[in-house]
A and B are shown apart, each in its own frame.
Chain A
Amino acid sequence: MTDIGAALPKPRVDVWPALTPLLVAAVAAPFIGSTSTFVTLTLASLAMGAMLFVMASGLTLAFGMMDVLNFGHGAFIAVGAYSATVVYRFAAPLAGGSLALDLLVFVAALVFAALVCGALGFVYEKLLVAPVYGRHLEQILITIGGAIVIEQLLLALFGTEPIDLSPPLAFRGSLSFGEIAIEKYRLVALALGLALFVAQLVVLSRTRIGLLIRAGVENREMVEALGYRIDRLFVGVFMAASALAGIGGVLWGIYQNQARAGMGGELLVLVFIVIIIGGLGSVTGCLIGATLVALISNYAGFLAPKLALVSNILLMVVVLLWRPRGLYPLGAR
C-alpha cells in the first residue's frame, strides 16, 4: 500500500495575510514612541478585534455557507445588547455580590442574547431571507427592510434613550504591569472571542455537521440527493450567525456601557469593512480583518483622532488593491 496522502499535492498555505497585523504594529511602533503606550494600545486593540470578530464572524459565516449577505446583521447586534439590559435589570438585586455571581449573570446575559437572536434569526430567515435565496439584489433590499423594522421595534419597545449597560463589578478596573495597563473586561472579551474562533474552526472542520455544511456549499444538489435536508442546515447556520451577532452585541454594549438602537447601523459599517478585508466567507480572514481594523483604529485614534474612521476606509482600499477579494477569500465562486 502506498500512502495516498503523500502523493497528493500539499495545500498551499498562504501566510502573508496572517502576518499583516504584525506588520501594522511594527510600522506604528516608532510613531507611538513610548513602549508602555504601544503595548497598552496593542492589547486594547486585540480585545476590540476579538469583539469585532464575534460580531462579524456570523455575517461572514452566513455569506460563505448560504451566499446570503444580511444587511440586518447590525440590528441583531443591537438586539443582543438590549437583551443583555433585560437580564441585568432582572439581576440588579444580585449585582456586586461576588465574582461567581457576577460571572453567572454575565454568562446568563450572553446565553439569553444568543437565544433571543437565534430565535429572531429563525423567524427572519423564514420570512425574509428564504424567499430570496440566490438573488443578491432582492436580498440586500429585503434585509435592509428587516433592519429598519427591527431597529424601529427596539425604539418602540425600549424608548429612544440609550439604556445603561455597565460591566459587572468583577470586570471593572484594570490590571497593570508596570506602566502597561489593560482593563479586565477587555481580557474577558479577548478570551471569549478567541474561544468562539476556535469553536467555529472545530465545528466546521472536525464535526459531521461542519462536513455537511461544507459539502452543501460545494454541491447542494448532491448533498440533498444523499438524503440530507440542506434547507434545515441553512436555517441552523443563519440562527448561529444571528446568535453570534447577539453575543457580539452584549460584548460591545458592555464595552460601550450602553445599548442604543442606532449602534447596529454604525457597527454594520465596521463589520462590513472587517469582512471585506478578511475575504467574504472566511472565518480566519475575519479574525485577521477584525484585528487589523482594531489596530488601525486604535493607533490612528491615538496619533490622529480625526482620521480614525477614514483610516479604516484607507486600510480597506490598500488591502483590496493587494488582494481584490480580501485576504482569505473562500473559494473562487
Chain B
Amino acid sequence: MRPLSGDPPRGWPARILVALVALGLAAAPFLFTGAKPLGVAEKICVMAALAASYDVLLGYTGVVSFAHVMFFGVGAYGVGLSLYALGPSWGALALGLSAGLALAACLALAIGLFSLRVQAIFFAMVTLAVAYAFNVLASQLPDLTGGEDGRSFRVPEMLRPGYKLGEFLGAAVTGRMLCYYLVFAGAAVLFLILLRVVNSPFGRVLQAIRENPLRAEALGYRIVVHRTLATVVAALAAAFAGALDALWLRYVGPDTALSFSIQIDVLVIVVIGGRGTLYGAVVGAAVFVIAENYLRLAVGAASTATASLPLLPNLLHPDRWLLWLGVLFILAVRFAPRGIVGELARRADMG
C-alpha cells in the first residue's frame, strides 16, 4: 500500500511544508475556534484539490485550459440544483454528484476532441470562449440555475451546523465539523488519486507529450487521445471539488462556482506553488488563501496610512489586491518557473 504512489515531495524542506499544511488542515477544527478560520481551512482544501486537478493539465500535460472552473461549476451546480429540487437527502446528493460528473466528462471530451487536434494554443482560446459562453448561459437560464442570484439549498441533516453529536477532545462535534471533514477527506482522497494518475504509465506518457510531442507521437502514443483523456480526468476531479464546495457553502451561484476570477486564482496557485508537482497545488492553495484572507487586511491598512499621497492609496487599496498578485505571478513565471515546491526541490537536489 503506497498512498503517495512512491512520489513524495522532493527534499526535506518541501516535505515539511506539505506535512505542515496537511496536518494543519486535518486538525483545523481543534486548533482554531470561530467560523472564519474553519472557512479558510475549507477554502484551502477545495482550492488545493481544484488546483491539483488543474496541474494535471498545466503542469503534466502542458496545455492551458480556461474552462477548468466551468467543470468546477458543473459539479457544484449538479449537487446544488439536485438538493434544491429533490430535498436534502443523501440520494439526491448522490444523484446530483453523478449527474455533475457525467456532464463534466462529456463536456471535456467534446472540447478536447474538438480543439486539441491542431495546436495546444487553440485549446487555450477555445476553452476561454466556451467558459465565457457557459457562464452567460448559466445566468440566462434563471428557471433552472437561479440566474445571477444562484440557489441556496439545504444539505442532509448530519452536515448542518445545528446538528450536535457530542464532544471530542474538548471541541463540540457539530454538523459543521462533520461537513468540514467530509470536504477534507474528499479533497485528500482526490489528491491521492490524482497523484496515482500522474505516476501511472498514462501519466508518464502525458509528461512525454509535454516534453516532446513529436517524439511521443513517433513512439506510437496518440497525442490527441492522451491530451483529451487528461482533460477528462482533470474535469472529473474539478467537478468533484466543486461538489464538495457546494456542500460546504450550501449555495451555488455564478460568483462562487463559475466566475473567471476563480480561474485566475487557480492559475496563480498552480504557478506560484509549483507546476508539475501536484504538491505545489497544496502549498500554493495554502499560501494563496491565507494571503487573500489576512494579508489583504494589511495591504488595506497600508492604503489608509498613505491616504494623503497621490495614487498610492489607490494602488494599495484592498480591491486592487489582484494587481499585486498579477505582478507576483509575472515574476514567478519569469524568474521562478518551478514555483515554491519546485525551487525547494531543486535546492535540496543541489545541496
List residues of A whose CB falls within 8 A of some B CB.
69, 71, 128, 131-132, 136-138, 140-142, 144-146, 148-149, 152-153, 155-157, 160, 265-266, 268-269, 272-273, 275-276, 280, 306, 309-310, 312-313, 316-317, 320, 324-325
Q: Are B320 and A140 neighbours in the complex by a CB distance under 8 Å?
A: no
- Interface of A: prevailing SS: helix
Cβ contacts under 8 Å, B334 to chain A:
131, 142
- CB closest residue in chain A, given B321: A152
Q: Which of B62, B115, B120, B323 has the most CB of A within 10 A?
A: B323
Q: Give 15 new A-B contacts, CB below 8 A, not counting A152-B320, A276-B126, A324-B117.
A: A137-B120, A141-B64, A146-B330, A148-B322, A148-B323, A148-B325, A148-B329, A155-B319, A155-B320, A266-B132, A273-B129, A310-B136, A313-B133, A316-B129, A320-B115
Please, how many angstroms separate the alpha-carbon atoms of A59 and B186 in the complex? Answer: 42
Please, how many angstroms separate the alpha-carbon atoms of A153 and B315 in the complex? Answer: 8
Of B121, B132, B137, B323, the residue contacting A269 (CB under 8 A) is B132
Please, how many angstroms separate the alpha-carbon atoms of A59 and B92 in the complex? Answer: 47
Of B119, B122, B126, B267, the residue contacting A144 (CB under 8 A) is B267
Identify the 10 closest CB pairs spanning chains A and B, nearest first. Answer: A148-B326, A152-B323, A145-B330, A149-B326, A156-B314, A272-B125, A145-B329, A269-B132, A313-B133, A140-B64
Of B117, B120, B133, B317, the residue contacting A310 (CB under 8 A) is B133
Smallest beta-carbon distance A148→chain B, Å: 3
Cβ contacts under 8 Å, B320 to chain A:
152, 155-156
Cβ contacts under 8 Å, B323 to chain A:
148-149, 152-153, 156
Q: Are B128 and A137 neighbours in the complex by a CB distance under 8 Å?
A: no
Please, how many angstroms separate the alpha-carbon atoms of A88 and B317 in the complex? Answer: 28
Q: Are A145 and B128 neighbours in the complex by a CB distance under 8 Å?
A: no
Cβ contacts under 8 Å, B326 to chain A:
145-146, 148-149, 152
Cβ contacts under 8 Å, A306 to chain B:
140
- CB closest residue in chain B, given A273: B129
B219 interfacial by beta-carbon distance below 8 Å: no
Cβ contacts under 8 Å, B125 to chain A:
69, 272, 275-276
Q: Answer whether A313 and B267 are a contact pair too, CB < 8 Å, given A140-B121, A152-B326.
A: no
- Interface of B: prevailing SS: helix
- CB closest residue in chain B, given A152: B323
Of B118, B122, B317, B333, the residue contacting A145 (CB under 8 A) is B333
B114 interfacial by beta-carbon distance below 8 Å: yes
Q: Are B64 and A317 neighbours in the complex by a CB distance under 8 Å?
A: no
Smallest beta-carbon distance A326→chain B, Å: 9
Give me 18 A-to-B residue pairs in the complex whose CB atoms sit less than 8 angstroms apart, sorted by A's number: A69-B124, A71-B124, A136-B119, A136-B120, A137-B58, A138-B333, A141-B64, A141-B267, A141-B329, A145-B327, A149-B326, A155-B320, A156-B317, A157-B311, A276-B126, A310-B133, A313-B130, A324-B117
B108 interfacial by beta-carbon distance below 8 Å: no
B19 interfacial by beta-carbon distance below 8 Å: no
- CB closest residue in chain A, given B315: A156
Please, how many angstroms separate the alpha-carbon atoms of A138 and B314 in the complex? Answer: 30
Q: Mark B102-116, 1 if CB is under 8 A from A, else 0.
A: 000000000000110
Q: Answer whether A140 and B124 are a contact pair too, CB < 8 Å, given A128-B330, A131-B334, A148-B326.
A: yes
Smallest beta-carbon distance B332→chain A, Å: 9
Smallest beta-carbon distance A239→chain B, Å: 20
Cβ contacts under 8 Å, A317 to chain B:
114
Smallest beta-carbon distance A136→chain B, Å: 5
Smallest beta-carbon distance B136→chain A, Å: 5
- CB closest residue in chain B, given A320: B114
Smallest beta-carbon distance B78→chain A, Å: 20
Q: Mark B122-155, 1 if CB is under 8 A from A, else 0.
A: 1011101110110011001000000000000000
Please, how many angstroms separate the alpha-carbon atoms of A266 and B131 in the complex? Answer: 12
